[in-house]
Amino acid sequence: MSPDRLLEIASVAELVRRRAEWEAEGRRVGLVPTMGFLHEGHLELMRRLRQRCDTLLVSIFVNPSQFGHGEDLAAYPRDPVRDAELCASVGVDALFLPAPEEVYPPGFDTWIHPGMAGERACGPWRPGHFRGVLTVVYRLFHWVRPQVSIFGRKDAQQLWLIRRMARDMGLEHRIEEGPLVRDPDGLAMSSRNIYLQPEEREAALALPRTLQALAREIAAGGNPQQLLAEAWQRLRSEKLLQPQYLELVDWQDFRQLQEGETLPQDLVLLGAVKAGKARLIDNVFLRKGREVEI
């Protein structure tokens, strides 16, 4: 089903065996965890990590533990043949394609709790989501033992939580921050964009446009709390959107800023909306020197 040059691994036992072989050969292993239905955002992460490792492993696993009640686990888009072809096209060496029972064997009941930072932004809207994310990522780290892994900036809260987990659990490998890749119209690339009807997609562009305008206004010295409130009202006026949150947090500790507080060096603006069947998240970073990274 997939290109002959791409090694496909289905079991944890085989993954551990292969990892031992790579280690014996002195190979530097890189890991890109995904849920499949790959797009250019995923491929850019793979290209970047390809330059930093000898063996590039991509995992494709639609993780049931990060889907809440009523979410789209059964309907989540899948295309394993195309995914394998895309991985081969950017030089991936191996795919890990486990079944759920490989990741969560009978009786499994130990989970990684995300802490206080997991209760902000997406946390209240997706109870248990980050617990599922951190647990599966920790298990992947344990089996693969990569020297380097990469996670995209599009899922900023997830990236922050994974880095904090790695620090708190004493994991020593490097976790790279990958770019947020956008479609030509400005919408952040996501596997769930396929759910959008044309009119919903046009309405959804209000999220990146709002975040980018807000970031520029804050970088120019505007009052963050007042600007957030005004931007929130603009988002709420979009008839086809259901805004969920709009937050400004300190990237150092993922803490929401208080009224009148001196702005730290590194900030991130985060937002989420529902548009039809799709739930969309986006963000804009304000980094050192107050330059806006979009």
Could you tell me if 156 and 126 lie in one domain?
A: yes
Could you tell me if 138 and 236 lie in one domain?
A: no
Number of H helices, E strands in the chain: 9, 11
Number of neighbouring beta carbons within 10 Å of residue 268: 24
Is pLDDT of 90 > 80? yes
**pLDDT at site 192:** 96
Could you tell me if 63 and 197 lie in one domain?
A: no
Could you tell me if 29 and 147 lie in one domain?
A: yes
Residue 183 belongs to some domain of the structure: no
Going by C-alpha positions, the residue among 150, 271, 152, 144 that lies closest to residue 214 is 271
**pLDDT at site 4:** 57
Residue 52 belongs to some domain of the structure: yes
Q: Which of 147, 178, 209 is the last residue of a domain?
A: 178
Active-site residue, 69 included? no
**N-to-C CA span, the chain:** 38
Residue 184 belongs to some domain of the structure: no
**CB half-sphere exposure, 11, CA atoms < 13 A:** 3
Residue 155 belongs to some domain of the structure: yes
**pLDDT at site 181:** 97
Is pLDDT of 97 > 90? yes
Residue from 42, 69, 142, 173 carrying the catalytic annotation: 42
Q: Which two tokens stand for residue 83?
A: 């995914």
Could you tell me if 173 and 239 lie in one domain?
A: no
Could you tell me if 157 and 76 lie in one domain?
A: yes
Walk across the sheet containing 94-96 and list its strands. Answer: 7-9, 94-96, 55-60, 29-34, 148-152, 174-178
pLDDT band at 288 (very low <50, low <70, confident <90, very high): confident
Residue 185 belongs to some domain of the structure: no
Going by C-alpha positions, the residue among 259, 257, 248 that lies closest to residue 285 is 248
Is pLDDT of 28 > 70? yes
- List the domain range (segments joined by +) for residue 199: 191-293
- The larger pLDDT score, comparing residue 287 to residue 139, is at 139
Could you tell me if 218 and 239 lie in one domain?
A: yes
DSSP state of 263: P
* Number of independent structural domains in the chain: 2
**pLDDT at site 272:** 98
**What's the CA gap between 148 and 146, in Å, rounded?**
5
Mean pLDDT over the full length of the chain: 95
Q: Which of 178, 211, 232 is the last residue of a domain?
A: 178
Is pLDDT of 56 > 90? yes
**Cα separation values, 260 from 223, 225, 227, 232, 257, Å:** 8, 9, 13, 19, 9
Could you tell me if 29 and 163 lie in one domain?
A: yes
pLDDT band at 289 (very low <50, low <70, confident <90, very high): low
**What's the CA gap between 97 and 279, in Å, rounded?**
26
pLDDT band at 291 (very low <50, low <70, confident <90, very high): confident
CATH code (residue 217): 3.30.1300.10
Is pLDDT of 3 > 80? no
- Percent of the chain surpassing pLDDT 70: 98
Residue 87 belongs to some domain of the structure: yes
pLDDT of 31-45, one tens digit each? Answer: 999 999 999 999 999
pLDDT of 236-262, one tens digit each? Answer: 999 999 999 999 999 999 998 888 888
Packed helices 206-219 and 224-236: angle between N→C axes, nearest 10 degrees: 160
Could you tell me if 215 and 174 lie in one domain?
A: no
Q: Which of 137, 153, 178 is the last residue of a domain?
A: 178
Could you tell me if 120 and 196 lie in one domain?
A: no
Could you tell me if 150 and 225 lie in one domain?
A: no
Residue 69 belongs to some domain of the structure: yes
Could you tell me if 216 and 138 lie in one domain?
A: no
Residue 93 belongs to some domain of the structure: yes
What does the angle CA 226 – CA 232 – CA 235 come to, to the nearest 5 degrees?
145
Is pLDDT of 53 > 90? yes
CATH code (residue 150): 3.40.50.620
The mean pLDDT value for 86-94 works out to 98
pLDDT of 179-237, one tens digit each? Answer: 999 999 999 999 999 999 999 999 999 999 999 999 999 999 999 999 999 999 999 99
